[in-house]
Amino acid sequence: MAASVGDFRALAKARLPHFLFEYIDGGSYDEVTLRRNIENLQSVTLKQRVMRDVSAIDLATNLFGTDYTLPVGLGPVGMSGMYARRGEVQAARAAKAAGLPFSLSSLSVCPVREIAAELKAPFWLQLYMIKDRAFLTDLLAVGRDAGCSVLLLTVDLPVSGSRYRDARSGLSVPAGARASFRRFCQSVAKPRWAWNVGLHGRPHSLGNLEPVLGANTGLEDYFGWIGANFDPSISWADLAWVRGQWPGPIVIKGVLDPGDARAALDHGADGIVVSNHGGRQLDGAMSTAQALPGIADAVAGRVPLLVDGGVRSGLDVVRMLALGADFVLLGRAWAYALAADGEAGVAHLLKLIEAEMRVAMALTGCTRIEEVRPGILA
């Protein structure tokens, strides 16, 4: 039984084909920011308090009018349907059972309609700005019809960062027989994955992209499609266009600079996610733990402030809340758990996060989420 996210990571590495584990685990260039996300968060020092009566701890919170059992959600992770059979469905079920939100990536294996049919409950939809506005219009309409409650507009990928691990593993090399053979060999070396996901988890397509790519939406097209279709001309003016297509909350994901946070508010954002894309874009950028306090000052409570990056425990969640976040999104943590044991793995991870949060709050003298604020920082 996994006792930590590190345990889930080890299990994921043992069970996934090499190219898929490297995609989950890696960052861009020399992975400086990837390491900073973890190290800077772990270096945040909390005040240990005693004699505070922490016999009753309440972790519940409300975000965008919805009550959640924890200030934690599953952030969008691309291709997670390749980590377990119909992986997005399994993760969404685990989040729903735990009373937490699930975010579906635009670049998911399972499409919006499949998640909606299985979940029968609202979930969040993540969106990239691409050149084909007609496709975006259709995808947003599908999301609205499916009852998606929040839109995470990811703005830190006008171009893709250079991810050396994906090139070395054979995932992002140009399509062709040689690349396919490399991935095939890595896949058959993991027979459990090959049987459960490779054979019985089909179709292995980027389900939300089928309207524009048809049947050709497999791994061969993943990086090529990103490079050809993501829109480097994205600007704040595009937020107004998105607002015209989406009636619910729009949260800007990918903010690291206080000036950008203020601009997001000026252009009508309903929330902000402090994020560096898990260290997968600009290597050498600030960690989210570094960036969060300045952005919290700039936002000053006017909209909910979410954060991701480097969160590996419930203790890390408490650290992020103390630095100024209202809500924390998990990324790699739940992807590792999904790869390790599917829905059961994600469910167990969320129980670990809850238990670790309770311990961290008790030892810092906090009994409610509203008390986990900068005052508990040493």
Per-residue pLDDT at 167: 85
Query: Does residue 11 have a pLDDT over 60?
Result: yes
Indicate which residues carry an active-site annotation: 277
Average pLDDT over residues 204-210: 79
Band (pLDDT 50/70/90 cuts) for residue 219 is low
Query: Does residue 378 have a pLDDT over 90?
Result: yes
Average pLDDT over residues 335-364: 98
The percent of residues in the chain predicted with pLDDT above 70, rounded, is: 94
Compute CA distances 347 → 34, 86, 338, whole Å: 25, 16, 9
Per-residue pLDDT at 218: 57
Query: Does residue 242 have a pLDDT over 70?
Result: yes
Average pLDDT over residues 368-373: 98
DSSP one-letter code for 102: B
Could you give all domains of the chain from N- to C-terminal order, each with its CATH number? 5-369 (3.20.20.70)
- Letter string b/e over residues 28-39, b meaning 16 or more CB atoms within 10 A of that residue's CB: bbebbbbebbbe
Query: Cβ(287)–Cβ(40) under 8 Å?
Result: yes
Average pLDDT over residues 315-344: 98
Condensed to tens digits (0 to 9), the pLDDT of residues 134-172 reads 889 999 999 999 999 999 999 999 888 889 998 888 887
Return the sign of the alpha-carbon dihedral for residues 87, 126, 94, 326. Answer: positive
Q: Please give the sequence-ordered ranges of beta strands (E in DSSP) within 82-169, or none if there are none.
A: 103-104, 124-128, 150-154
Distance CA 369, CA 374 (A): 12
Q: Which helix (H) or strand (E) holds 188?
A: helix 177-188
